[in-house]
Structure 1
Amino acid sequence: MAALTDTGMKRSHNEDSIASEASCGLVLVADGMGGYRGGEIASALAANTIVYEVQHALQQLEQNPAAMEEDEEYSSQSIIMRDAICKANQVIYQASHSLAQYQGMGTTVVAVLFLADHRLSIAHVGDSRLYRYRDDYLETITSDHTLIQQLIDRGFYTPEEARASMNKNLVTRALGVDADVKVDIQEDFAQPGDIYLLCSDGLNDMIDDKDIHLTIRTYNDNLDRAAAELIKLANANGGKDNVSVLLARIVDETHAPNKHWLDKFVDWFF
């Protein structure tokens, strides 16, 4: 695994947060917003709350699986991810209404929980993204919660036209803005060799997908270098925002089929 965050070329401080917790297989990127370092506080609150809530809920699930809420569509782990992000929303919302200087703060988040047998639970709010690089093809797994994405979905813009829009960063969902938030959750099955990229919009606003693709293809055997090159490209193209990237590669575990899932997770990324 490789993770990097950078202030960029225009901002005075970094409001992004990155978290990874090998004990439960969780990684996330959060992109904060709000004056007087409110965005920095919001993204850190999101990261810390989500990690704590997921760890605690997974421990409870292991001890008492029958007590977990049942859902016909999603796994227990995906429900845990959704609930953890909803809890983070409550924490940020309450903090923003308790301290005047943090009023209006919020954050996006994209989070991935890597499970046994290469299963993934994915949850996101806002425009921080998850990409998957597989067989030399880069695919966007999440869909941005933005006004411009809604217009693309309705056929008013093409993706190419949207990149030039002045309104492309207007998010329609974020943590901390309202008392409740809708969290999008989905699941995926990884294959050995897949590379997952979590990023704040400071990356994809400055670099188009074909250059992200080319960078990962060029440095796919060195994720630290790939992360550094992505940050470098974003800054070279203007660096108008903070930029954060987290890259994780799925490795072939057939050589150790009897390993505990946590040991496999550590092998996957570290």
Structure 2
Amino acid sequence: MTQAAASMTYEFFAQTDRGRVRSNNEDAVAVDRDAQLAILADGMGGYNAGEVASGMATTFIRTEMVRWLNESRTEPTATELRQALENCVDNANHAILGAALSNPQYSGMGTTLVVGAFLGSRLILGHIGDSRCYRLREGVLQQITRDHSWLQEQIDAGLLTPEEAAVSANRNLVTRALGVEPEVQLEVNEFEVLPQDLFLMCSDGLTDMVADDDIADMVRRAAPLEETAAHLIDAANAYGGRDNVSVLLVQASGMPGKRRGLMSRLLGQA
């Protein structure tokens, strides 16, 4: 295989922590390295219901996406992958809402979501709520999702500055959530991936505790992903750890190229 034909490769690492205040962890993370899929969810609801919602979301979407990739006879296009992701999220929404309506102890549960599907040198990124994805490229950290939150709406309308929003008591009011209503709007965007790009998905347990500049300093260190994740979580807890905190890191490397299909990789075929 020539260098030009070599595929982009991805390294994944995910870690979640209860934090210093909460008695349980309502965050959930899931990674499928063969499918090149990364999922993070931050649940909400009554006692234990939030962790049910986030766990259902990550498990359902991972299972359904892998099944779809297994059943694909040809390498999917970015458009096909996006459509599959939207369908899986829609089905997960109905499953979570159905569980909430049929079990009184789960009433009102829901979850944020950020999910990335990597296809060669493309990233299909979907999100709902205020869990985020950042990209580190050539030393610059950029948030590539936009919060679906009351505060973000106030900032967009010019009613609050980002500095005022950072200290607002209404930081956790989301305007979209998975599993709350019969229809959910997944915001999906597509990005080019360059070698050495680093992607950070995280719950607001990180971003409410640690400033973006400090996050940038930690992810610029070029440390192993496991070490970077530990530093981020330790920082959130050092600043109070008022919420569960989850991070999911994806490191791109190699040359852009066509990704081998899931079944081909599993079977070891060229």
Equivalent residue runs for 1:239-258 within 5 Å = 239-253=241-255
Displacement of 1:113? 0.2
Partner of 1:57: 68
- 2:37 pairs with 1:26: yes
1:95 to 99, 109, 125: 99
Check conservation: 1:115, 1:261, Cα contact below 8 A. Answer: no
Q: How many residues get paired?
A: 255
1:167 to 146, 150, 170: 170
Which amino acid is 1:48 matched to? T
Displacement of 1:162? 0.5
Which amino acid is 1:22 matched to? R
- 2:124 pairs with 1:115: no
Identical counterparts, % of pairs: 44
Displacement of 1:2? 2.0
Partner of 1:35: 46
Displacement of 1:261? 5.4
Superimposed CA distance per residue, residues 44-86 of structure 1 (whole angstroms, 9 cap, x where no aligned partner): 1001110122122233443597xx9xxxxx7111111111111
Please give the TM-score of this superposition, normalised by the length of structure 2.
0.89
Partner of 2:8: none
Partner of 2:260: 260
**Superposition CA RMSD, Å:** 2.2
Please give the TM-score of this superposition, normalised by the length of structure 1.
0.89
Superimposed CA distance per residue, residues 77-99 of structure 1 (whole angstroms, 9 cap, x where no aligned partner): 11111111111110000000000
2:57 to 46, 59, 65: 46
Displacement of 1:253? 3.5
In the alignment, structure 2 segments of 5+ residues that lack a partner are: 1-11
Which amino acid is 1:137 matched to? V
CA distance in 2, matches of 1:225, 1:169: 28
Which amino acid is 1:23 matched to? D
Aligned to 2:148, the other structure's residue is in SS state coil
Equivalent residue runs for 1:1-270 within 5 Å = 1-62=12-73, 75-116=79-120, 118-218=121-221, 220-253=222-255, 260=260
Superimposed CA distance per residue, residues 100-157 of structure 1 (whole angstroms, 9 cap, x where no aligned partner): 00100110110000112x1111111111100000000000010111000011111111
Check conservation: 1:114, 1:265, Cα contact below 8 A. Answer: no
Which amino acid is 2:240 matched to? G
Which amino acid is 2:49 matched to? G
CA distance in 1, matches of 2:220, 2:75: 43
Structure-2 change in CA distance of 1:261 and 1:59 (3 Å): closer
Check conservation: 1:131, 1:196, Cα contact below 8 A. Answer: yes
Superimposed CA distance per residue, residues 240-270 of structure 1 (whole angstroms, 9 cap, x where no aligned partner): 100000111101137xx6883559999xxxx
Larger relative contact order, structure 1 or 2 (CA cutoff 8 Å, min sep 6): 2
CA distance in 2, matches of 1:57, 1:252: 26
Check conservation: 2:74, 2:261, Cα contact below 8 A. Answer: no
**Structure 1: 4+ residue segments shifted above 2 A:** 56-65, 257-266
